[in-house]
Amino acid sequence: MKNLRMFKRLCGTESLASVVLATTFWDNGPDFPKYLQRENELKTKDDFWRGMIQNQSKVFRQDSGRISATRIIEYLVQRDRGSTRNRPILDIQRQMVDEMTPLDKTGAGQEVQVWLTQQREAYERKLAQMRVEWEQALQERDKEWQRDLKRNTQEIEAKIKRDEEDKNRLRADNAALHQEQEELLRARAKQIADELEHERALQQQNAQELQKAIDAGEEHRKRLEIQKKKYQQLVNYRCTVM
């Protein structure tokens, strides 16, 4: 159940249409009606696949070895072939990339936080009960009971420590991802700035070349004007002589 909730959080509702729910270990023996009942339970109960199927997840039976496996793969390939519009974008991708949401604030991250909190509360209840039993074991001077309680307490405390380390790793991963995103953004900003600077330099170079061409054209026009005047003077002179 926890893994299924996490999967839904990772995918998001819009991506469930690209999900295949495959059942395995089918046979035609005497337990076949039980398999059908279990499949129907998975497909119709809200705690299992009902909501996913309503969002177009597809149920397959992996019951014929390579044949049914190929059928599943072909369905997934054909579904998105030739189009990028139907390709899924996971919720965690959208949240972390598009919305810049920290990992521990995403739907999946919050699901982990809830689970770790519930685990911690369950462990604390067990420890509280063991403390009561410890007092009773001391009163009864039951050494074996005391050893069992001590061993069980150490095991639970070790689990609490591991869960706390997992929570800290989640925060650390979040910080590392945030830093990585910032570095990527800085690198992209520098790339854009370099491209703009290159474009500005290119435009400036083109403007200079254009100005040179204009100046050269103006010089050529002036020379033509001078030649025209000289020619006109020569024509006028010849007319006067004649």
pLDDT in tens, 24-72: 888 777 888 888 999 999 999 988 999 999 998 999 998 878 888 899 9
Helices of type H across the chain? 2-11, 32-44, 50-54, 66-80, 91-93, 107-140, 143-241
Among 37, 54, 89, the domain-final residue is: 89
Q: Would residue 169 count as lying in a domain? A: yes
Q: Would residue 215 count as lying in a domain? A: no
Q: Output the pLDDT for position 237.
A: 57
Q: Output the pLDDT for position 177.
A: 67
One domain, residues 83 and 153: no
Going by pLDDT thresholds of 50, 70 and 90, the confidence category of residue 128 is: very high
Q: Would residue 53 count as lying in a domain? A: yes
One domain, residues 74 and 125: no
Going by pLDDT thresholds of 50, 70 and 90, the confidence category of residue 238 is: low
Q: Output the pLDDT for position 86.
A: 59
Q: Would residue 49 count as lying in a domain? A: yes
One domain, residues 7 and 81: yes
Torsion of CA 74, 80, 83, 89, to 10 degrees: -150
Q: What is the pLDDT of residues 1-10, one digit of tens each?
A: 678 888 888 8
Going by pLDDT thresholds of 50, 70 and 90, the confidence category of residue 191 is: confident
- Looking at every residue in the chain, the average pLDDT score rounds to 82
Q: Would residue 139 count as lying in a domain? A: yes
One domain, residues 83 and 119: no
Report the run of H or E that residue 58 belongs to, with start and end.
Answer: strand 58-61
Q: Output the pLDDT for position 41.
A: 92
Q: Would residue 237 count as lying in a domain? A: no
One domain, residues 78 and 128: no
Q: Which residues contact 76 (CB under 8 A, 6 or more apart)?
A: 18, 20
Reported as half-sphere exposure (CB side, CA atoms, 13 A), residue 162 has a value of 8
Q: Output the pLDDT for position 50.
A: 92
Give φ, ψ of 62 to 5 degrees: -90, 80
Q: Is the pLDDT of residue 183 over 90?
A: no
- Answering whether pTM is above 0.85, one says no
Q: How far is CA 24 from CA 35, 100, 133, 212, 240, in A?
A: 10, 39, 45, 78, 115
One domain, residues 7 and 74: yes
Residue-number span of the structural domain to which 174 is assigned: 114-193
One domain, residues 8 and 84: yes
One domain, residues 130 and 55: no
Gap between the Cα atoms of 130 and 163, Å rounded: 20
Give φ, ψ of 192 to 5 degrees: -65, -40
Q: Which residues of 56-66 are buried (b: 16+ CB within 10 A; e: fewer)?
A: ebbeeebeeee
Q: Is the pLDDT of residue 173 over 70?
A: no
Going by pLDDT thresholds of 50, 70 and 90, the confidence category of residue 181 is: low
Please tell me the total count of domains within the chain: 2
One domain, residues 76 and 126: no
Q: Would residue 30 count as lying in a domain? A: yes
Q: Is 8 exposed, middle or buried (0-12, 13-18, 19+ CB in 10 A)?
A: buried
